[in-house]
A and B are shown apart, each in its own frame.
Chain A
């Protein structure tokens, strides 16, 4: 029991925390002391439990407001202006850096708009199929269809189109 008063506190040492001599003496003591063998078993069985328990405690808390509360306790003057980007370009760069989704959308949007415009123009420029028997005499706007003995004739005058 007297030896245990010396060696029991050593049981929780990590590798390298005891000198080689101390480790050897502890090893010799453990070989013959059932009480310290039991203490060591208890120690090993409970290793990691405290950290796990406190992590659980922290997980149960709602940290939604924590960072905001910390930031409001720091004076605004702490955030130096030279840490912020200067000029329009720098401001935009910082903004898009924080909002990557918007940055990606901003990059893609012009390309999509160009593609849509191309498709629209391409389709609107395609002439409609002229029905059989209809003669198109002008390609200007505002067509007028005349019934003639030879069938319907489409007339479009420049003055009608304006």
Chain B
């Protein structure tokens, strides 16, 4: 029977290496996936994921069980991912949060929804687009990558996003809107559905 996280954490706190190793093995892929989504580079994500576990071990004493261990661990991983991005930040800024008329008029709506059909889970196109998802993610600004991963993979609420990123709830919603819109535009391009020529977003990277 699998030992639960809290029991392993307690043993690891007491200095049991095998228990901590078990936690690493249990969450290594999830932590790596979150890091990879934010920092883009797979090797950097590997380092970030390892840093997350090392830092988690250093602060095990601070873990009181108020949240699940995985939530606590992923919070550490996202902090380190964001720090890693800041080290690579460029001076270029972009209007990543404002939702104005130009943002709304940029591209048609409902294209993906229509193309993927009424049952998107079974769509062949959907499977192809999932394969393009990380490629698209690498093309959008870091702030957008970060918020998308926190929302879609970590599952954070608006309130939690606001707290984690240090921005108001309204900004969270508008930033998510922009991030999704950019991803959808890129996916539409890949699927040959886009009504407009694709613009490279690689140079749009900005700090979160």
Binding site for B on A (CB under 8 A): 1-2, 4-5, 8-14, 17, 34-59, 61, 63, 66-67, 69-71, 73-74, 78-84, 98
B6 contacts A by Cβ under 8 Å: no
Q: How many residues of B contact A (CB 8 A)?
A: 65
Interface contact A46-B149, CB-CB below 8 Å:
no
Interface contact B34-A54, CB-CB below 8 Å:
yes
Residues of B within 8 A of A46 (CB): 112, 116, 120, 129, 180, 183-184, 187
> Which chain A residue shows the least CB distance to B49?
A66
Q: Mark B117-140, 1 if CB is under 8 A from A, else 0.
A: 000100000100111011001000
Residues of A within 8 A of B173 (CB): 9-10, 12-13
B167 contacts A by Cβ under 8 Å: no
Interface of A is mostly: helix
Given contacts A54-B134, A58-B32, contact A5 B104 (CB under 8 A): yes
Residues of A within 8 A of B202 (CB): none
Interface contact A54-B153, CB-CB below 8 Å:
yes
Binding site for A on B (CB under 8 A): 11, 14-18, 20-21, 24-25, 28-30, 32-34, 36-37, 42, 46, 49-50, 53-54, 57, 99-101, 103-105, 108-116, 120, 126, 129-131, 133-134, 137, 148-149, 151-153, 157-159, 170, 173-174, 176-177, 180, 183-184, 187
Which of A42, A43, A51 is packed against the most chain B CB atoms within 10 Å?
A: A42
Could you tell me the distance in whole angstroms from the C-beta of A132 to the nearest C-beta in chain B? 66
The 4 closest A-B pairs by CB, nearest first: A38-B110, A41-B113, A80-B15, A38-B109
Residues of A within 8 A of B170 (CB): 9
Given contacts A9-B176, A71-B21, contact A82 B15 (CB under 8 A): yes
Residues of A within 8 A of B131 (CB): 53, 56
Given A35-B104, A49-B126, A78-B17, 5 more A-B residue pairs with CB atoms under 8 Å apart are A12-B173, A35-B110, A43-B180, A58-B33, A61-B32
Report Cα–Cα, A4/B181, bound state, in Å: 14
> Which chain B residue shows the least CB distance to A36?
B109
Could you tell me the distance in whole angstroms from the C-beta of A67 to the nearest C-beta in chain B? 4
Residues of A within 8 A of B104 (CB): 1, 4-5, 8, 35
Which of A14, A63, A81 is packed against the most chain B CB atoms within 10 Å?
A: A63
Interface contact B158-A13, CB-CB below 8 Å:
yes
18 chain-A/chain-B pairs, Cβ below 8 angstroms: A5-B104, A12-B176, A17-B158, A36-B109, A37-B110, A41-B110, A46-B112, A46-B116, A46-B187, A50-B37, A50-B183, A52-B130, A53-B131, A55-B29, A67-B24, A69-B50, A78-B15, A82-B15
